[in-house]
């Protein structure tokens, strides 16, 4: 490895470069050389291919390897394959693949070498230099491209040796700048390598033309970053799209369409500025081209088969996008400025966060298209994974396995795109089998500022888009003042996605004409930039001037298009004035057509199922694959399956079996189940084992839950990337698409969920209230104080409870509908189940409800194997249901009047409490009541239980610290349930800053103290 590297660094140094060519000549006879070049495409590398990497030492040898590998990676030894794949090797320009080099060198009239004679070393060197220059432009031309409409960052052209001014400087050409030729060489003909398309049909071009074309392609208004991509096919694809002569030629009709769209985009902001001058709207001025850009992406994508586009975007230009991309009725948008009362439920959101969903005819392609903009919070980029999850789900339900019909577009601000970590986390989902959306087009509205902060203070990377390089996404930087360049880039991006189904990025480099919002003064912080902006004509005017000058349209036409759009706005404005209310439903991003219709909103379907169903699921779940003889399963798993089978025979279920019963029975009913999170396939605690792995064959797996019934719904269980923020957001988005699915996300340990806090706060807990959309997402959060230290103990249930919207002081009217009404009215459900049966029921209830609410479930760790944490099938079969409270059903419960103390608790501590009670022989004196559904609080059942034990002292026992766990939530609600006539006192750990002690001994001391306190009379 070291030797190969050394050989190459030598070959690549400017000095060695020259020697390399000479050496090449020396070592080969000139005739052989000419032949070899011509025949390069058909050379075989059998002998070399067999050579392992470690043996290779010479440059030509590596060249051979590289060229062979480029053609067919399997033709070289695996060690070479690994080396080239690892991208450690950059081919020097002369080592680029040569297959299209059909003319022999001798066919050229190189200075000195006359027809048929061998080329001299200078000729070879010059050709190599030209190839190096071509490659330099391709790799680094973007560094000198003219991207900044304000010209602040634009590099001046420098006069080269040939007397012509060019942008490509040493940053671009590096050591090859020394090879730039003099004026006398400009007319010399150079053969073009197969890695460039600048020649079109020409195999060779004069040097001057080569340089001019390269400048025009790579250092003009488009800067393409793509040479880091590992695939030669993809690199060539991009080169072709940008280098082929004439790609930027637009017909007059196309130009007029761009102008019309730009007129609308510009006119919309101007209209709002005129009518609502003091309102924040986060206008797009300075980057209005984003609207025609999005339309172009959508047009081309629809042409290529896409039927549904799901977009996520921040504040900037959002209203304009709704109006001019989605064509949301303008009057509905204007009504948002009027400060009207809402006609429907919900607390609403500011106008530049609202979502929308529109189905309409695309007039350009004459095809129907569905466009959704997903509602989002202020939290920049938080919507990204949500959009991806929603897109993935839509692809799934349509059977669109390659993403040909449904696609996502994510729009970003420049500062947020590089600053927010969730962008990176979301990028990393892009190629994972269970998370990919088969390519997202990212559009950065790069106004070169974030609020008041310049890029030089907001990022350490050269571009705001560098994060996309990690997934090999090509990045198309483009000057936002050149509409045609922008349209070309958009077309290429849409085609890229349709061809390779991978992400790509369009970096629209514009500026921000106003302050961060329309009321802000930008001169406070960016005086020089804004002096330039004040003098800068807007894009529409620049483009109109251009089209008028070239005769594509007249000044009158330009004016009349603008006037026409203003009239449209005025009419909508008048209509908006007649509205008396806003309707949140008009802003729904994910309508569930047919789901609510005809349903009794307060009727929950039964959650128990026939015993035979449980037995069937149990048997399947405990069986090895049908082809067990060939499928080698780990012995430990055979024991797990046998233990499961024994439970099924006894008609009892542990936690994993209870969960499988819930999943299996829902799948049978046609409900799609998707479980996602870190290591969920096996389960963090090695209890689930949904995916059995063949011990001898890679990727051979068996998942019995996918084979319960022939006509069942699909089950998907996926180990996710090691992300909480993006993956939870993704699953939330997935759950928004279709209510008839149970979507679950499991944290590795509950406390890790706080790295996804924005998804929890901004979407899950408040989404329905802000955006009238529902989600039945389940969060499974392993929780419990088991002496594992501060970071593996608590899912911080207190935080979820603090965000629950039920009023501590309000006891809802008691009736048969008490429980369902509470569920209907709350923002989410928080529960901590102690039995597999209750876990099973609460999961099934998610689907049995006539509406959807997120479910936050504290889930067990040690209880997964606790001998008592098992449920008989009778608690899951027909007639059984979820128990919000599990009363004491031992001696205390049977003789309540003798009971001296009632200990209310939730979760696993119950088992410790009962054990202590047995040890102390206090079964008749102390009742233990489990609150399984903590929120919404079971006021009615707590009251009932308290009434049962009229003479008893009431306590709440918890293992979490006093300022954590459920105490602060349940305390006031107990008082309301008891009508303030009795008190309930606290038993448990004192307040603490940390969730749990790191010392095992201290943990045991604390636990014993709490158990002794609770179980004493």
Residues at the interface with ligand TPP (CB under 6 A): 316, 378-380, 413-416, 445, 447, 449-451, 512, 516
Identify the CA nearest to 974 among candidates 929, 917, 910.
929
d(CA 827, CA 518): 34
Binding partner of residue 316 among ligand TPP, Mg ion, none, CB under 5 to 8 Å per kind?
ligand TPP
Looking at the Cβ atoms of 451 and 592, the one nearer to ligand TPP is 451
Taking a C-beta distance cutoff of 8 angstroms, is the pair 768, 774 a contact?
yes
Least distance from ligand TPP to the Cβ atom of residue 284, Å = 9
Q: What does 451 interact with, of Mg ion, ligand TPP, none (CB < 5 to 8 A by kind)?
A: ligand TPP
Residue nearest to ligand TPP (CB): 413
For 654-799, strand residue ranges (E) read: 672-677, 692-693, 701-702, 715-719, 741-746, 778-782
User: In angstroms, how far is CA 352 from the centroid of its own chain?
Assistant: 21
Query: Among 313, 284, 273, 396, which residue's Cα sits nearest to residue 713?
Result: 396
Count the helix, strand and coil residues of the chain and give each as a percent rounded to the nearest 5.
45, 15, 40
Q: How far apart are CA 585 and CA 772, in angstroms?
A: 7
Beta strand 871-872 with 652-653 is antiparallel
> Minimum distance from CB of 381 to ligand TPP (Å)?
7
Min dist CB 751 to ligand TPP, Å, is 22
Separation between Cα atoms, residue 785 and residue 473, nearest integer Å:
44
d(CA 719, CA 930): 33
Between CA 298 and CA 406 the distance in angstroms is 11
- Output 414 or 925, the one with its CB closest to ligand TPP: 414
3-state SS class at 513: coil
Closest to ligand TPP by CB, 512 vs 930, is: 512
CB of 380 to ligand TPP, least distance (A): 4
Relative to beta strand 222-225, strand 204-206 is unpaired
Instruction: Single out the residue of 388, 382, 378 nearest to residue 770, CA to CA.
Output: 378
Structure tokens at 963: 């300022």
Distance CA 395, CA 988 (A): 49
Residue number, 285 or 940, with CB nearest to ligand TPP: 285
Q: Is 447 exposed, middle or buried (0-12, 13-18, 19+ CB in 10 A)?
A: buried
Is there a cis peptide before residue 290, judged by omega within 30 degrees of 0? Answer: no
Instruction: To the nearest 10°, report the CA torsion of 560, 563, 564, 569.
Output: 170
- Shortest spacing between CB 378 and ligand TPP, in angstroms: 4
Q: Which is nearer to ligand TPP, 416 or 558 (CB)?
A: 416
Residue 142 or 316: which CB sits closer to ligand TPP?
316
User: What is the residue-wise DSSP string for 438-486?
Assistant: S-EEEEEEE-S-BTTB-HHHH-SSSSTTGGGGGGT--EEEEETT-HHHH
Q: Are 421 and 725 in contact (CB under 8 A)?
A: yes
Name the minimum Å distance from CB 449 to Mg ion: 5
Are 849 and 739 in contact, with CB atoms under 8 Å apart? no
- Interacting partner of 17 out of ligand TPP, Mg ion, none (Cβ under 5 to 8 A depending on kind): none
Partner in contact with 798, chosen from Mg ion, ligand TPP, none, beta carbon below 5 to 8 Å by kind: none
Selection from Mg ion, ligand TPP, none that 854 binds (CB < 5 to 8 A by kind) is none
Q: Based on CB atoms, which residue is closest to Mg ion, 512 or 845?
A: 512
Do residues 795 and 858 make contact, with C-beta atoms less than 8 angstroms apart? yes
Task: Please state, in angstroms and rounded to a whole number, the distance separating the CA atoms of residues 538 and 516.
Answer: 18
Residue 512 vs 690, nearer CB to Mg ion? 512
d(CA 225, CA 469): 9
Residue 456: CB minimum distance to Mg ion, A? 13
CB of 463 to ligand TPP, least distance (A): 13
- Judged by CB, which is closer to ligand TPP: 161, or 379? 379
Q: Between β-strands 901-905 and 165-166, what pairing exists: parallel, antiparallel or unpaired?
A: unpaired
- Name the residue among 772, 799, 754 with its Cα closest to residue 934: 799
CB of 512 to ligand TPP, least distance (A): 6
Between 517 and 976, name the residue whose CB sits nearer to ligand TPP.
517
Residue 321 or 834 having the CB closest to Mg ion:
321
Question: Least distance in Å: CB of 423 to ligand TPP?
Answer: 10
Contacts of 657 (CB under 8 A, 6+ apart): 618, 621, 644, 647, 648, 836
Q: Residue 759 binds what, of ligand TPP, Mg ion, none (CB under 5 to 8 Å, by partner type)?
A: none
**Alpha-carbon span 859 to 840, nearest angstrom:** 12
Smallest separation, CB 464 to Mg ion (Å): 8
What does 569 bind: Mg ion, ligand TPP, none (CB cut-off 5 to 8 Å by kind)? Answer: none
Q: Which is nearer to ligand TPP, 15 or 456 (CB)?
A: 456
Shortest CB 448 distance to ligand TPP, Å: 8
Binding partner of residue 656 among ligand TPP, Mg ion, none, CB cut-off 5 to 8 Å per kind: none
Question: In whole angstroms, how close is the CB of 293 to ligand TPP at the nearest point?
Answer: 15
Are 747 and 780 contacting, i.e. CB atoms less than 8 angstroms apart? Answer: yes
Residue with Cβ nearer Mg ion (450 or 608): 450
CB of 465 to Mg ion, least distance (A): 13
Nearest distance from C-beta of residue 228 to Mg ion, angstroms: 25
Of Mg ion, ligand TPP, none, which one sits near residue 378, judging by CB under 5 to 8 A according to partner kind? Answer: ligand TPP
Q: Which is nearer to ligand TPP, 272 or 415 (CB)?
A: 415
The option from ligand TPP, Mg ion, none interacting with 258 (CB < 5 to 8 A, set by class) reads none
Contact indicator for 493, 476 with CB cutoff of 8 Å: yes
* Distance in Å, CB of 500 to Mg ion, minimum: 29
Q: Measuring CA to CA, which residue among 557, 565, 531, 533 is closest to residue 285?
A: 533
CB 620 within 8 A of CB 708: yes
Q: Which is nearer to ligand TPP, 139 or 266 (CB)?
A: 266
Query: Among residues 952, 780, 978, which one has the least CA distance to residue 861?
Result: 780
The torsion angles phi and psi of 487, rounded to 5 degrees, stand at -65, -35
What is the β-pairing status of strands 885-886 and 926-931? Answer: antiparallel
**Residue nearer to ligand TPP on the CB measure, 11 or 374:** 374
Q: Which is nearer to ligand TPP, 324 or 448 (CB)?
A: 448
Nearest distance from residue 729's CB to ligand TPP, in Å? 13
Residue numbers of the site for Mg ion (CB under 5 A)?
413-415, 447, 450
750 contact, one of ligand TPP, Mg ion, none, CB 5-8 Å limit per kind: none
């Amino acid at each position: 490895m070291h030797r190969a590297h050394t050989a190459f660094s030598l070959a690549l140094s400017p000095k060695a470069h020259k020697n390399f060519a000479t050496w090449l000549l020396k070592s080969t006879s000139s005739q052989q050389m000419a032949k070899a070049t011509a025949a390069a495409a058909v050379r075989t590398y059998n002998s070399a291919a067999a050579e392992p990497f470690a043996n290779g030492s010479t440059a030509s040898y590596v060249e051979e390897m590289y060229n062979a590998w480029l053609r067919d990676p399997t033709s070289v030894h695996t060690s070479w394959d690994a080396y080239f794949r690892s991208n450690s090797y950059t081919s020097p320009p002369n080592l680029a693949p040569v297959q299209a080099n059909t003319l022999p060198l001798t066919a050229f009239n190189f200075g000195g070498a006359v027809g048929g004679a061998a080329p001299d070393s200078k000729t070879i060197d010059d050709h190599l230099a030209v190839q190096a220059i071509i490659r330099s432009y391709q790799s680094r031309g973007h560094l000198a491209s003219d991207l900044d409409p304000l010209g602040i960052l634009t590099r001046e052209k420098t006069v080269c040796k040939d007397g012509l001014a060019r942008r490509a400087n040493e940053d671009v050409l590096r050591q090859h700048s020394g090879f730039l030729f003099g004026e006398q060489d400009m007319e010399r003909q150079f053969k073009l390598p197969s890695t460039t398309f600048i020649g079109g049909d020409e195999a060779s071009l004069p040097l001057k033309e080569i340089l001019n074309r390269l400048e025009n392609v790579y250092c003009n208004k488009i800067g393409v970053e793509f040479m880091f991509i590992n695939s030669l096919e993809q690199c060539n694809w991009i080169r072709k799209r940008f280098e082929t002569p004439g790609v930027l030629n637009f017909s007059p009709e196309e130009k007029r369409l761009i102008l019309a769209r730009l007129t609308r985009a510009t006119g919309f902001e101007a209209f709002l500025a005129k009518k609502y001058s003091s309102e924040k709207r986060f206008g797009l001025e300075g980057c209005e081209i984003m609207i025609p850009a999005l339309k172009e992406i959508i047009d081309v994508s629809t042409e290529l088969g896409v039927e549904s586009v799901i977009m996520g975007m921040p504040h900037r230009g959002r209203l304009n996008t709704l109006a001019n991309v989605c064509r949301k009725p303008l009057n509905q948008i204007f009504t948002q400025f009027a400060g009207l009362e809402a006609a429907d439920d919900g607390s609403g959101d500011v106008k530049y966060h609202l979502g929308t969903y529109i189905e309409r005819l695309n007039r350009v392609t004459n095809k129907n298209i569905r466009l959704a903009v997903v509602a989002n919070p202020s939290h920049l980029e938080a919507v990204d994974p949500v959009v991806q999850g929603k897109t993935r789900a839509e692809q799934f339900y349509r059977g669109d396995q390659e993403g040909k019909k449904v696609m996502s577009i994510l729009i970003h601000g420049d500062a947020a795109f590089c600053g927010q970590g969730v962008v990176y986390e979301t990028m990393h989902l892009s190629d994972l089998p269970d998370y990919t959306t088969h390519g997202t087009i990212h559009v950065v509205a790069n106004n070169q500022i974030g609020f008041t902060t310049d890029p030089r203070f907001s990022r350490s990377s050269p571009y705001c888009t560098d994060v996309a390089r990690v997934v090999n996404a090509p990045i198309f930087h483009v000057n936002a003042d050149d509409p045609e360049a922008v349209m070309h880039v958009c077309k290429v991006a849409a085609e890229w996605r349709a061809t390779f189904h991978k992400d790509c990025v369009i970096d629209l480099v514009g500026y921000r004409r106003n302050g961060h919002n329309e009321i802000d003064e930008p001169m406070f912080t960016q005086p020089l930039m804004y002096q330039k902006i004040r003098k800068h004509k807007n894009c529409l005017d620049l483009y109109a001037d251009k089209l008028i000058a070239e005769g594509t349209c007249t000044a009158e036409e330009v004016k009349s298009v603008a006037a026409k759009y203003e009239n449209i706005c005025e009419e909508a404005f008048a209509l908006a004035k007649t509205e008396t209310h806003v309707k949140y439903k008009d802003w729904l991003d994910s309508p569930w057509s047919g789901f609510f219709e005809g349903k009794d909103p307060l009727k929950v379907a039964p959650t128990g199922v026939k015993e035979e169903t449980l037995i069937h699921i149990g048997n399947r779940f405990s069986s090895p694959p049908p082809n067990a003889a060939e499928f080698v399963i780990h012995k430990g798993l055979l024991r797990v399956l046998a233990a499961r089978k024994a439970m099924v025979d006894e008609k009892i279920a542990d936690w994993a079996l209870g969960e499988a019963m819930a999943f299996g029975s829902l799948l049978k009913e046609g409900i799609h189940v998707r479980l996602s999170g870190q290591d969920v396939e096996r389960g963090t605690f090695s209890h689930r084992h949904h995916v059995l792995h063949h011990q001898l064959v890679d990727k051979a797996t068996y998942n019995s839950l996918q084979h319960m019934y022939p006509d069942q719904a699909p089950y998907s269980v996926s180990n996710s990337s090691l992300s909480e923020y993006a993956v939870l957001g993704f699953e939330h988005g997935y759950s928004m698409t279709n209510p008839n699915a149970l979507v679950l996300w499991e944290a590795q340990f509950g406390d890790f969920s706080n790295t996804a806090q924005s998804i929890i706060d901004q979407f899950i807990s408040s989404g329905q209230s802000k955006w009238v959309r529902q989600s039945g997402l389940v969060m499974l959060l392993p929780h419990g104080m088991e002496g594992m230290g501060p970071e593996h103990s608590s899912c911080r249930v207190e935080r979820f409870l603090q965000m629950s919207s039920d009023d501590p002081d309000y006891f809802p009217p008691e009736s048969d509908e008490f429980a369902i009404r509470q569920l209907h009215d709350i923002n989410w459900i928080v529960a901590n189940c102690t039995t597999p049966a209750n876990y099973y029921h609460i999961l099934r209830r998610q689907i049995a409800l006539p509406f959807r609410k997120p479910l936050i479930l504290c889930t067990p760790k040690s209880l997964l194997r606790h001998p008592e944490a098992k449920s008989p099938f009778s608690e899951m079969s027909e007639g059984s249901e979820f128990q919000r409270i599990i009363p004491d059903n031992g001696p205390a419960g049977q003789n309540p009047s003798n009971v001296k103390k009632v200990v209310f608790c939730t979760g696993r501590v119950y088992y410790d409490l009962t054990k202590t009670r047995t040890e102390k022989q206090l079964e008749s004196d102390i009742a233990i009541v489990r609150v399984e559904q903590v929120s919404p609080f079971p006021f009615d059942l707590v009251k009932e239980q308290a009434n049962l034990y009229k003479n008893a002292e009431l306590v709440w026992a918890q293992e979490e610290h006093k300022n954590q766990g459920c105490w602060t939530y349940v305390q006031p609600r107990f008082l309301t349930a008891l009508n303030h006539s009795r008190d309930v006192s606290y038993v448990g750990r004192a307040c603490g800053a940390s969730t749990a002690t790191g010392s095992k001994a201290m943990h045991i001391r604390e636990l014993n103290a709490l158990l002794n306190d609770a179980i004493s009379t």
